[in-house]
Structure 1
Amino acid sequence: MTDIPRRAVSRTAKLAALPLGFAGRTVLGMGKRVTGIASDVISAEIQQRTAEQLFSVLGQLKGGAMKFGQALSVFEAALPEEIAAPYRQALTKLQEAAPPLPAASVHKVLAEQLGPQWRDRFTEFDDSPAAAASIGQVHRAVWRDPSGGTRNVAVKIQYPGAGEALLADLKQLSRLGGMFRAIQPGLDVKPLLTELRERITEELDYELEAESQRAFAAAYADDPEIFIPEVVSAAPRVLVTEWVEGTPLAEIIREGSEEQRDQAGRLMATLHLSAPPRAGLLHADPHPGNFRLLPDGRLGVIDFGAVARMPEGTPEPIGRLAGLALRGEAEAVMAGLREEGFVSQSEEIDAQAVLDFVRPMLDPVAEEEFRFTRAWLRAEATRLASPRSPAYQLSRHLNLPPSYLLIHRVTLGSIGVLCQLEAKAPYRAILERWLPGFAPAS
């Protein structure tokens, strides 16, 4: 039996217990309501206890639970501070750490993927993982080049049974929508889970990841701001790449200087917007564990398991409609949204109301510089998610076309990281350079 399936029963039991604990806390809340305790106090208490159990369980798991926890963790900046603060550290751990695979299991995978003489390919190999994530872990090693030279490399090794674990965990997590709404009302995790499920096959194929990484490396070769490590060797479940020495973004979020935060934020935005036109690809996994700030100031990108193929670059209507909204052209914005499928052709909606809905989202590019903050993101989340908000009521009449789902999710994830960094940068100039059709008011 492989390492992951051996623990499948235990993992499934932990996940299955989450809704039971949530139900108990809901009953507790109902009991306190009878005694006359204020409803907002009860709600906060239920939210905090639910968050504590949820993040605790996710933090113990590999597979889909940890993958989902990583995806969710970039949104922690949108959570109310009284909930987010106690668990920020636990969420960040999801981005950098997991229980390690035993050395004997690591060696078995390497022998299967690189051949029984795999040790001859390295002059050194550290059995202790340098990092671990949802479907694999990374070991530091020294690669022996055919020319006789050596170089420091990162060896990513996929957990045995990772695919089965991912599918099983995501199936369990799809039943927990009520819990996440308790933590953040209006949060719908189903689209996120659906997308994660659809991308499992791609992320499990390290040879496909190597192909994507090579495309990124070619597009950003000798770039002064973005560094993509070279692929050294690839097999279906083992990927060897150049080692990247730098400060993880998770560490910068915790204790970085303002200069580091601003630099990281500017480069994250540059990567997000420039990759589709330059590489025909979008990096689709914007959590801090995938990025390093290098000593020379460049942004190092170390994971390409999740990418979106965009051979035509970013759709032009995104930039064009953003520019129209900044210029206050309500009727033109409405016409464009109808054309792209965001608004039904038959739906009667006030154009100015739609512009009022969209315009606050564009504050980061309305001025020459903008500082993303947790407070800004929480205010936007409240505006869009509160059932009493006009924006919430209007959103029920809007659609998200399938062709825009991934772009939307990655953009939200990137904004979440920028708010964690609280990064200030000239985001409008970055859009003007890389987003086709974007022409804000002068």
Structure 2
Amino acid sequence: MLLWDQLGGEQMIAAAVPEAYASYRAPIAAAVRFFVESLPGPRAIAILAEQMVLGPSAGASERLMELARSCPVLHKLGQVLARDRRLDPGLRAELQRLESMEPEVPMEAIRALIEQDLGPLEPQGLALEPTALAEASVAVVVPFRYREGSAAGPGPGRGVFKVLKPGIEERLDQELALLEDVGAFLDERCAEFGIPPLDYQDIFAQVRERLGHEVRLDIEQRHLASALEAYEGWEATVRIPRPLPWSSRRITAMERIDGRKVTEGGALARVDRGRLARRIVEALIAHPLWSTAPSALFHADPHAGNLLVTDDGRLGILDWSLAGTLGKREREAMGQVLQGALMLDARPILEALRSLSSRAVAGPALDQVVAKHLRQVGRGHLPGFTWMMGLLDEAVQEARLRVGADLMMFRRVLLMLEGVLADVEGGGGPDLDAILIASFVRQLVGEWPGRALALPRSRAFGTHLSNADLMQLALTLPWTTARVGLDWWQEVLAPGQADASFPACSP
């Protein structure tokens, strides 16, 4: 309790959590306090010393940002929240500094780490630049040059080393081990805090497994190779760093991509910001969704520090340490949810949601959640991707649906990108659903020739809809339109009764 009080913990959480979510301040404060005060003694002392350096005039947002810098897990959480428009602008500005920080690790220490793994650099034709480019939650990025005739090929070139910071593996292991304890702490106090009983220990265990990849740079190197394959044919609009041969478990060597963060307004004056926003959505969301691959790779950490506009106007996608995959089953289930919504039919939606859950969902709660969201469609709400994610969120919270780690990560990607896109385009940001619908229509039109020879129930398409699905949709839509009109009149003539009478599924 002493450390938490000295950090001004309650004030930090009050500054971080918007008034609209004030009821969550108590459980968030308790969870963060439990996490911080469970750290080993030397770590706690170091955190307190860093806070004291700030001085008594430091505000709650500044102290929270410094705490995040001290803990890799909180640093990653800060990056996720940095563009969330629901947060105070001052706090967002502080957290955005976590996206790409000025390097603090001395170059001498970085060189020693590199040569410890790779051996002397000069005989291999490698020369480090004098200063590092940036520092992130677990690694430092250092530029280098390679000479003609090196292992990278006949010509000279430029690359970067992504190098794990000294001691970061031990620190991250300590924090990840605490995550499940934090989950168990919350599970025991759901009633006290008034939060949904979601099996937080299991959720945090999934998070722990994925965040552990942050320091497994050999996994990142495999992700890079997979990403280059997945985005083959996108070279005119998207750049992904090409791996270079000087890598190890703690070092990733890759080509250097020059550019500016996609959110840097003044520096991108000549860029069509609306087109850039659409490109981000199409590359990071639509591309994995409409993929025909059995397992579709997606970038799972798209904060603004990992997204660049290159000097030739392309979208550079950096840092593939966190990546996930959407299986064909998950993508087909999403298609069935949206098809059921367009038909105002709960049956395919319920079947699809249950197929996504790793445990049986019993009781009427899921039926009630689906019926509630279908009523929104009946009132004219577009059943797009945003609607579907809202349905999934409520199914998890209210019906205890338990989805896999990759789908949970994909949901997090959408939350991160909403804030990034708003900062890219300005104002309220682009219409995510409109971009995805346009992308879906292009995908569907491109599939049309191949559908002539497909079996009626085959879903071997990027839209994940069979010819039978499309035929059912075409036959049902006129009835759906009539039903929406009928319920609109019912609401006009007898306000309040439409909610109770709206059918959960079509006849």
Q: TM-score with structure 2 length normalisation? A: 0.63
2:374 pairs with one of 351, 355, 370:
355
Aligned residue number for residue 299 of structure 1: 315
Correspondence 1:283 to 2:283: no
Structure 1 residue identity aligned to 2:114:
L
Aligned residue number for residue 207 of structure 1: 218
Which runs of structure 2 are paired with 1:225-240 in the superposition (5 Å)?
225-233=237-245, 234-240=247-253
1:333 pairs with one of 342, 345, 349:
349
Q: CA deviation at 1:315?
A: 2.6
Correspondence 1:410 to 2:413: yes
- The answer to whether the 8 Å contact 1:330/1:354 transfers is no
Structure 2 residue identity aligned to 1:352:
A
Aligned residue number for residue 484 of structure 2: none
Distance 2:383 2:272 in 1: 19
Taking structure 1 as reference, are residues 132 and 25 closer, same or farther at Cα in structure 2, changes over 3 Å only?
A: closer
Structure 2: which 5+ residue stretches go unaligned? Answer: 29-57, 187-193, 444-461, 478-507
**Percent identical:** 21
Q: Which has the higher Rg, Structure 1 or Structure 2?
A: 2
Correspondence 1:158 to 2:177: no
Taking structure 1 as reference, are residues 325 and 155 closer, same or farther at Cα in structure 2, changes over 3 Å only?
A: same
- 1:176-203 per-residue CA deviation (whole Å, 9 max, x = no partner) reads 999xxxxxx9799978754442124322
Distance 2:6 2:203 in 1: 19
Aligned residue number for residue 121 of structure 2: 118
Structure 1: which 5+ residue stretches go unaligned? Answer: 1-12, 28-38, 179-184, 367-371, 386-390
2:230 pairs with one of 219, 224, 227:
219
Taking structure 1 as reference, are residues 97 and 333 closer, same or farther at Cα in structure 2, changes over 3 Å only?
A: same
Distance 1:19 1:175 in 2: 21
Distance 1:203 1:237 in 2: 10
Structure 2 residue identity aligned to 1:68:
L
- The answer to whether the 8 Å contact 1:334/1:354 transfers is no
Q: TM-score with structure 1 length normalisation? A: 0.71
Structure 2 residue identity aligned to 1:219:
A
Distance 1:361 1:195 in 2: 37
Taking structure 1 as reference, are residues 199 and 26 closer, same or farther at Cα in structure 2, changes over 3 Å only?
A: closer
- 1:336-380 per-residue CA deviation (whole Å, 9 max, x = no partner) reads 3344449824325345314246899985948xxxxx9xxx9xxx9
1:423 pairs with one of 424, 427, 430:
430
Aligned residue number for residue 139 of structure 1: 142
Correspondence 1:396 to 2:383: no
Distance 2:66 2:140 in 1: 20
Q: CA deviation at 1:429?
A: 2.1
Structure 1 residue identity aligned to 2:249:
P
Distance 1:52 1:155 in 2: 32
Aligned length: 387
Taking structure 1 as reference, are residues 306 and 135 closer, same or farther at Cα in structure 2, changes over 3 Å only?
A: same
1:346 pairs with one of 355, 363, 375:
363
Distance 2:380 2:104 in 1: 41
Distance 1:413 1:52 in 2: 20
Aligned residue number for residue 72 of structure 2: 63
- The answer to whether the 8 Å contact 2:159/2:254 transfers is yes
2:97 pairs with one of 93, 96, 102:
93
- The answer to whether the 8 Å contact 2:129/2:144 transfers is yes
Q: CA deviation at 1:216?
A: 1.1
- 1:213-271 per-residue CA deviation (whole Å, 9 max, x = no partner) reads 0121123234222211210122111111111112212424x875596432332222222
- The answer to whether the 8 Å contact 1:68/1:193 transfers is no
Taking structure 1 as reference, are residues 397 and 106 closer, same or farther at Cα in structure 2, changes over 3 Å only?
A: same
Which runs of structure 2 are paired with 1:99-114 in the superposition (5 Å)?
99-114=103-118
Structure 2 residue identity aligned to 1:241:
M
Taking structure 1 as reference, are residues 62 and 21 closer, same or farther at Cα in structure 2, changes over 3 Å only?
A: closer
- 1:136-168 per-residue CA deviation (whole Å, 9 max, x = no partner) reads 011111123344421111111111221111133
Taking structure 1 as reference, are residues 211 and 186 closer, same or farther at Cα in structure 2, changes over 3 Å only?
A: same
Aligned residue number for residue 261 of structure 2: 248
Distance 1:360 1:270 in 2: 29
Residue 130 of structure 2: SS of its match in structure 1?
Answer: coil
Distance 1:204 1:362 in 2: 43
Distance 2:217 2:316 in 1: 19
Taking structure 1 as reference, are residues 397 and 152 closer, same or farther at Cα in structure 2, changes over 3 Å only?
A: same
Taking structure 1 as reference, are residues 60 and 300 closer, same or farther at Cα in structure 2, changes over 3 Å only?
A: same
Taking structure 1 as reference, are residues 255 and 294 closer, same or farther at Cα in structure 2, changes over 3 Å only?
A: closer
- The answer to whether the 8 Å contact 2:101/2:136 transfers is yes
Residue 218 of structure 2: SS of its match in structure 1?
Answer: helix
Q: CA deviation at 1:335?
A: 4.0
- 1:267-316 per-residue CA deviation (whole Å, 9 max, x = no partner) reads 22222331363673221112111111123332111111011244648531
Q: CA deviation at 1:175?
A: 5.1
Taking structure 1 as reference, are residues 226 and 359 closer, same or farther at Cα in structure 2, changes over 3 Å only?
A: farther
Taking structure 1 as reference, are residues 202 and 384 closer, same or farther at Cα in structure 2, changes over 3 Å only?
A: closer
Aligned residue number for residue 266 of structure 1: 278
Aligned residue number for residue 335 of structure 2: 319
- The answer to whether the 8 Å contact 2:277/2:430 transfers is yes
Aligned residue number for residue 17 of structure 1: 4
Aligned residue number for residue 483 of structure 2: none
Q: CA deviation at 1:24?
A: 6.9
Residue 235 of structure 1: SS of its match in structure 2?
Answer: coil
Distance 1:402 1:312 in 2: 14
The range that moved more, 282-291 or 51-60, is 51-60
